[in-house]
Structure 1
Amino acid sequence: MTANAEQDTVLVTAATGKTGRRVAARLRTRGTPVRAGSRTPGSGAGEVVFDWESPATWAPAVQGVTSVYVAFYPDLAAPGAVEAMSAFGQVAAAQGVQRLVLLSGRGEPEAVTAEDALRKSGVPLTVVRAAFFAQNFSEGVLADSVAQGAIAFPGGQTPEPFIDVDDLADVVVAALTEDGHLGQTYEITGPRLLTFGQAATDLGAALGREVKYLPVLENEFAALLQQVGFPEPDAAWLAALCTMLMGGHNASTTDTVRELLGRAAKDFVDFARDAVVEGAWKE
């Protein structure tokens, strides 16, 4: 594969999120001009307002860019995602965008519908369908649970191939900057299947103290989400999504990270060790 022109500007949506900030950092390291879009941008060079709930912000952010990393918040399977992808695709096409790289969820039927809505724009699209993020344990909704030593989640005994978000960001950057990815759909996973109980054991080993896994039902998880501040409709939707994802249809690994990057995907044990070194779960 060959790299594209270094001066092609890339818009990174959700640029302060788990994936967006990593993608933006890697692009800057490569010398690629980045336009970092977020709801509340700072004053740094290239930071712009981009809010999925405010379509008026889309065209100004997209104007003049060549490629876009599309990370829809809160999830591509969320209500309203299909409509947003259809409308954003029209904006991107009208502004002359040449490449879209879309973050999607592995095994999410609603997300596939949203993918198709964006594909209809006619702008060349690469879809990256990711497994459950390892960083959900260190930066997401489960981080406090890990810190407190007990992870409540509707995972049962279903194994999941947790993907490290650093690997995801490397795949996205390759798709944004190299030839050969247009029109492709990639499913990326970690190298190993783990149940949530096994993940809790690995996290506890890295932390040097016990971390338990507490299996809960969908409604129980929704109630827990409400207790930490999620509005009832959002809690119900997220609990239903998580329960669906742990139905067993994602219990397999792919070798896509190795095929695209020439190296193995990061193992969950290594993620947990590195997260501790970086200061995750500090009390």
Structure 2
Amino acid sequence: MHMTNTKNTAATDLILVTGATGKTGRRVTERLEGLGLPVRKASRSAEIPFDWDAPETWDAALAGVGKVYLAYSPDAGFPGAAEIVGAFAERAVAAGASRIVLLTGRGEEGAVRTEEAVRATGADLTVIRAAFFAQNFSEDFLIDAVRSGTVYFPADGIAEPFVDADDIADVAVAALTDGLHIGRTYELTGPRLITFAQAVAEIAAATGLEIAYAPVPLEAFEEGMVAEGAPAEFAALFRDLLAEVLDGRNQSLAHGVRDVLGRAPRDFADYARENAAAWK
């Protein structure tokens, strides 16, 4: 058997976490560091700056890395994501990072193309397909809407199995630290289906605040995003993504959290209670 020397073994233990300041990346980083594992945080503001749109930053971020948590921003389902993420994964594998845990969105055709692009590199891959994050209500995105007292969103009567970002991070860490999950695809959802109106009502109940839910057409939501400063191109792409994932295709529960962690996923009501301070 070929034995690597200690220096090389140590190097390949290094885990690169992309989106390290984001909703899942931050949690994955905290858990890995809590386990005493070596982590390199990849973000534009990191010590070694990393930018998806600047491939010249990729090699330095990948130097000495053995595993990658890959969470592409803005979304693995966006047009062009498969090409960028695929190119990055190819570079990662060539640099010695053969183990990749990829976060994508549930029910996104573009995300499936991104998964295929990463799989084509020959990486030891685990795919995590996540439902709509519960934390979208409390960390950027919809937090200002909740605080304003009215959440306008283009989902009228559509139910979603909101998943807690802490569950996503727990599954990602399990996948990064246990070879059992290589080659697997896990769909992560919460334990029940609730509409966006019900989700907002549960936040209102948890906070004691008066918060209303108002469904709006996709076009109006897109116009609102632009009015609040979002680039028009991004708003249009995001509108298209919402049209896809909010057409009813995701109105079912999956069992990825239990399959990986052996426990039930966290419930939205518990999430709302635990994060009540965020909305006050």
When normalised by structure 2's length, the TM-score is 0.94
Report deviation, 1:178.
1.0
Q: Which runs of 4+ in 1 moved over 4 A?
A: none
Instruction: Measure, in 2, the Cα distance between the counterparts of 1:7 and 1:97.
Output: 7
6-15 or 107-116, which deviates more: 6-15
Instruction: Measure, in 1, the Cα distance between the counterparts of 2:235 and 2:224.
Output: 8
Structural RMSD (CA) = 1.5
Report deviation, 1:124.
1.0
Report deviation, 1:241.
1.1
In structure 2, the CA distance between the partners of 1:6 and 1:121, relative to structure 1 (3 Å rule), is closer
Task: Report what 1:128 is aligned to.
Answer: 128
Task: Report what 1:196 is aligned to.
Answer: 196
Instruction: Measure, in 2, the Cα distance between the counterparts of 1:114 and 1:158.
Output: 26
**Once the two structures are superposed, what CA deviation does each residue of 1:55-103 show, in whole Å capped at 9, x if it has no partner?**
1111111111110000101000112201112211220121011200000
- What is the SS of the residue equivalent to 2:152? strand
Partners of 2:19 and 2:71 within 8 A in 1:
yes
Task: Report what 2:143 is aligned to.
Answer: 143
Report deviation, 1:6.
11
Report deviation, 1:12.
0.2
| Percent identical | 51
Contiguous gaps of at least 5 residues in structure 2: 1-9
Report deviation, 1:32.
0.6
Matches within 5 A, 1:179-194: 179-194=179-194
Matches within 5 A, 1:85-234: 85-234=85-234
Instruction: Measure, in 1, the Cα distance between the counterparts of 2:239 and 2:225.
Output: 8
Instruction: Measure, in 1, the Cα distance between the counterparts of 2:260 and 2:93.
Output: 27
Report deviation, 1:179.
2.2
Partners of 1:66 and 1:96 within 8 A in 2:
yes
Structure with greater helix share of residues: 2
When normalised by structure 1's length, the TM-score is 0.93
Task: Report what 2:28 is aligned to.
Answer: 23
Instruction: Measure, in 2, the Cα distance between the counterparts of 1:88 and 1:261.
Output: 29
Task: Report what 1:44 is aligned to.
Answer: none
Instruction: Measure, in 2, the Cα distance between the counterparts of 1:222 and 1:83.
Output: 26
Instruction: Measure, in 2, the Cα distance between the counterparts of 1:239 and 1:13.
Output: 25
Instruction: Measure, in 1, the Cα distance between the counterparts of 2:182 and 2:248.
Output: 30
Instruction: Measure, in 2, the Cα distance between the counterparts of 1:56 and 1:6.
Output: 21
In structure 2, the CA distance between the partners of 1:204 and 1:241, relative to structure 1 (3 Å rule), is same
In structure 2, the CA distance between the partners of 1:55 and 1:181, relative to structure 1 (3 Å rule), is same
Instruction: Measure, in 1, the Cα distance between the counterparts of 2:72 and 2:107.
Output: 17
Partners of 1:161 and 1:191 within 8 A in 2:
yes
Task: Report what 1:9 is aligned to.
Answer: 14
Partners of 2:15 and 2:67 within 8 A in 1:
yes
Task: Report what 2:42 is aligned to.
Answer: 37
- What is the SS of the residue equivalent to 2:126? strand
